[in-house]
Amino acid sequence: MKRVLTGIMALGLSAGAAEAADELTLQLKWVTQAQFAGYYVALEKGFYEDADLDVEIKPGGPDIAPPQVIAGGGADVIIEWMPAALAAREKGLPLVNIAQPFKRSGMMLTCLKETGIESPEDFKGKTLGVWFFGNEFPFLSWMSQLGIPTEGGDEGVEVLKQGFNVDPLIQKQADCVSTMTYNEYWQVIDAGFTPDDLVVFNYTDQGVATLEDGIYTTEENVEDPEMADKLARFVAASMQGWEYARENPDEAADIVLEYDATGAQTEEHQRRMMREINKLTEGSDGTLDVSAAETTVDSLLSGGEAPVITKRPEGAWTDKITSMIE
């Protein structure tokens, strides 16, 4: 039976009466899948309950932008990539990174070898699939650094607004598509291609990786003592969930499947994804690596005539919440 994500109520006895746990709503960046296993594990295994939290997890989707959700009061905390969070912050939404479970980027550009693409210089004149809704920022920054226009032409690239699948590559509508190490790359393989059929450009290898899947909230929440306490408990319990997922990948994937209300995910895909995700979270205790954040900022600022952000952000991350965790 699929579980309904209404959150779980932790009950504490005080003076013989039941006390309601503190409510907190989390908005995910994407649909229910192993990419967010740590949070579902924390929910299922009672880690949030132990932290006296009643957590509601809201799945994302192709038309859901987490910054818009939190701006509208629909969530207390969101999972977002740093480029999108910084872009939203520069536009006036005071998002703050309070923890960073993902230490490494999983973003890639996967190309068909038959197109003749061997290096980034070969992108010129080609059609590249790109995700939008905030996911385009790392790509646009990369192209700006390469000096390659994104308006088409022989010296530029034609940007195809890619859905959250790899159909444009399979159907030969694009020469390359955006993929993640833990998801879409394997969709290409499952479609019948072999690694030898592909040329892969990992953003980390290209020196343009940016931080992904951080935990963000608003400045107002961080400054509120009661909310800060809730957030510290949430981060601690979530990292406990991530640790459990690394130690028990198959069980973690199965937990994710139980919470997939759509029934669209498969055991094979989620278990494979879980192992790839664990490579990205390995070694993280939730503390943001400031040098990695600065590298992200440097990459976004070096976007030529169309940088993702136009000035170095101030107050875009804080260790206040993680420093509260014992």
What's the pLDDT tens digit per position in 111-123?
999 999 999 999 9
Kindly report the number of other CB atoms within 10 A of residue 156's CB atom: 17
Residue 316 to residue 14: CA distance in whole angstroms: 38
Q: 243: exposed, middle or buried (C-beta count within 10 Å: 0-12, 13-18, 19+)?
A: middle
Structure-block tokens of residue 14: 């005080």
Structure-block tokens of residue 219: 């400045």
> pLDDT, tens digit, for every residue of 180-220?
999 999 999 999 999 999 999 999 888 888 999 999 999 99
Structure-block tokens of residue 289: 């690596």
CATH number of 11-103+211-323: 3.40.190.10
Q: pTM for the full model? A: 0.87
Residue 178 to residue 173: CA distance in whole angstroms: 13
> pLDDT, tens digit, for every residue of 247-265?
999 999 999 999 999 999 9
Superfamily assignment of 107-202 in CATH? Periplasmic binding protein-like II (3.40.190.10)
The dihedral over CA atoms of 188, 60, 321, 38, expressed in degrees to the nearest 10, equals -50
pLDDT attached to residue 11 = 35
**Phi, psi angle pair for 58, to nearest 5°:** -100, 115
Is residue 3 predicted with pLDDT exceeding 60?
Answer: no
Q: What share of the chain is helix, strand, coil (3-state, %, to 5)?
A: 40, 20, 40
Domains 11-103+211-323 and 107-202 share a fold: yes
Is residue 12 predicted with pLDDT exceeding 70?
Answer: no
Is residue 8 predicted with pLDDT exceeding 80?
Answer: no
Is residue 233 predicted with pLDDT exceeding 70?
Answer: yes
List all residues 6 or more positions away from 213 whose beta carbon is below 8 Å from its beta carbon: 29, 35, 79, 80, 81, 101, 102, 280
What SS3 state is found at 14? strand
Domain ranges of the chain: 11-103+211-323, 107-202
